[in-house]
Every structure is written in C-alpha cells, then in structure tokens.
Amino acid sequence: MSVKTLTIDGKDVAIEEGATILQAAKEAGVAIPTLCHLEGVSDVGACRLCLVEIAGTSKLLPACVTEVAEGMQVQTNTPKLQEYRRMTVELLFSEGNHFCSVCVANGNCELQDVAIQVGMDHTRFPYRFPNRGVDMSHPSFGIDHNRCILCTRCVRVCDEIEGAHVWDVAQRGAGCYIVSGLNQPWGTVDACTSCGKCVDACPTGAIFRKGETTGEKERDRAKLEFLVTAREKHQWIR
C-alpha cells in the first residue's frame, strides 16, 4: 500500500493511503475534538466537531471521514474552527436537557470534556427544553433520551461489534431520537443480549446501568478495543 505525505498544523506526516485525517492527526500528536468517533467502529461524521480546514477548498471537512491525499495541507485549530466547534457544543446543550449536577456521568462525560476543551461556558441560543422520555424497561440498563446527543455510537457498536442491531435512529432533524427494536421498549426487544457495549460506548449519561447515581457511571473502553480484533487474532479467553 502506498504512503501519502501531508502537513497537519505545519507538521509533516506520512501515513498509509486510505487513512483519514483524524488518524493522521493522531499519528502526528495533534488532538482534534470528537464525540461521535469511537475506535473500532465505522465513522459517520455525525457530530461535526472534527471539522478541519484544507488548503485549496473553502469547505470545512470532517477529519474522521476524509481520507488523506498527497500534499494535503491541513489546519485543525484556526479561529474559524474554534468558533464553529464552540457553536456546535452550545447547540448540543441548548437542544437537549443536560442537567450535569444530577447526571450519572457527571465528571466522566465526554460532552463536558469537549465543552471545556472548546471554551464553552454558556450558550447564546435559547433552550428548547424538548419533551423527551426515559426508558427503564430493561432489567439491567436504562436510557435517558434527555442526555442523548445522537452520536449513534450505540447504534454502531451494537451492529458492528455485538451484531444484534438493537438500536437505530428514528425521525428527522430536530425530531430525531434513538429507538430500540422497532420503536419498542428496550426491555421487550428480544435481539438485545444485555452485553452492555452500548453503555460503554455512550459518551454521556444517556445509556447507563441501573443503580448508578450521580457521577457513578464508568466505562470499560478496553473491552470494546479488545472485541474489535479478538475474532481475527483468536484472543478469546475460554
């Protein structure tokens, strides 16, 4: 496989053809904020936090789904990008019902981390206060749609790693929400294996284990990383 050379924030990077800008940035030690990206599952460019500027085009492109090209010149942290990212995080907070002080993921939330990273301490947009429900029908887990940011990590990890495809996205635009089964209560979906991978994949407190209270949610990302390659490397533990 051929190698592509490019520059990211002035740093020279060489990486295999077919790699994404996000992967190249990681190789170069350049941090790009993300929310929908999760190692081991496909990228979809949902959150738009990883937008970058590329010389020769006026479009801002998502680093997670844009492949590197020979001679590409990438900027990842310009004032324009900083403003776009801050606005994106503000919109995520204003369109949902994110009450951090009573959330199971408080202090261990990627949305909180990104808000700090982009310097967002308030939102200029009016809060929508949507009427979103909580599904506690599953014997082990719950989903609070008020905390969901529609990153679709749960959808992808359930489909691509567990192979159950319990989760999907319903409706469009501001009316989108995550559904289990054919919009059934989670606890009634026979396809669910109760593996908990969606809990580990969720960046916020939207999907959680029953019994967890404020600030108690923890994730086991190492388990997801292992499962990605376990079959092909024959690493199953008997």
Considering the domain architecture, whether residues 65 and 161 belong to the same structural domain is answered as: no
For residue 174, what are the domain limits?
84-233
Query: Do the domain assignments include residue 89?
Result: yes
Considering the domain architecture, whether residues 39 and 93 belong to the same structural domain is answered as: no
Q: Give per-residue pLDDT as tens, 154-163.
A: 999 999 999 9
Backbone phi and psi for residue 168, each to the nearest 5 degrees, phi listed first: -160, 180
- Tell me how crowded residue 163 is: count the other CB atoms within 10 A of its CB: 9
- Tell me how crowded residue 211 is: count the other CB atoms within 10 A of its CB: 9
pLDDT for res 223: 73
pLDDT for res 48: 95
Considering the domain architecture, whether residues 97 and 64 belong to the same structural domain is answered as: no
Considering the domain architecture, whether residues 106 and 170 belong to the same structural domain is answered as: yes
- What's the structural domain count of the chain? 2
- Residue partners of 217: CB distance under 8 A and separation at least 6: 104, 105, 108, 205, 208, 209
Considering the domain architecture, whether residues 70 and 176 belong to the same structural domain is answered as: no
Block residue for tokens 């009634």: 188
Q: E-strand spans in the chain?
A: 3-8, 11-16, 51-54, 60-62, 73-75, 134-135, 141-144, 167-170, 177-180, 207-209
Q: Give per-residue pLDDT as tens, 213-225.
A: 999 998 876 777 7
- Asked if residue 236 has pLDDT above 60, the reply is no
Q: Give per-residue pLDDT as tens, 19-31.
A: 999 999 999 999 9
Query: Do the domain assignments include residue 156?
Result: yes
Query: Do the domain assignments include residue 238?
Result: no
Give this prediction's pTM. Answer: 0.91
Domain boundary among 44, 77, 110: 77
Q: Give per-residue pLDDT as tens, 72-107.
A: 999 999 999 999 999 999 999 999 999 999 999 999
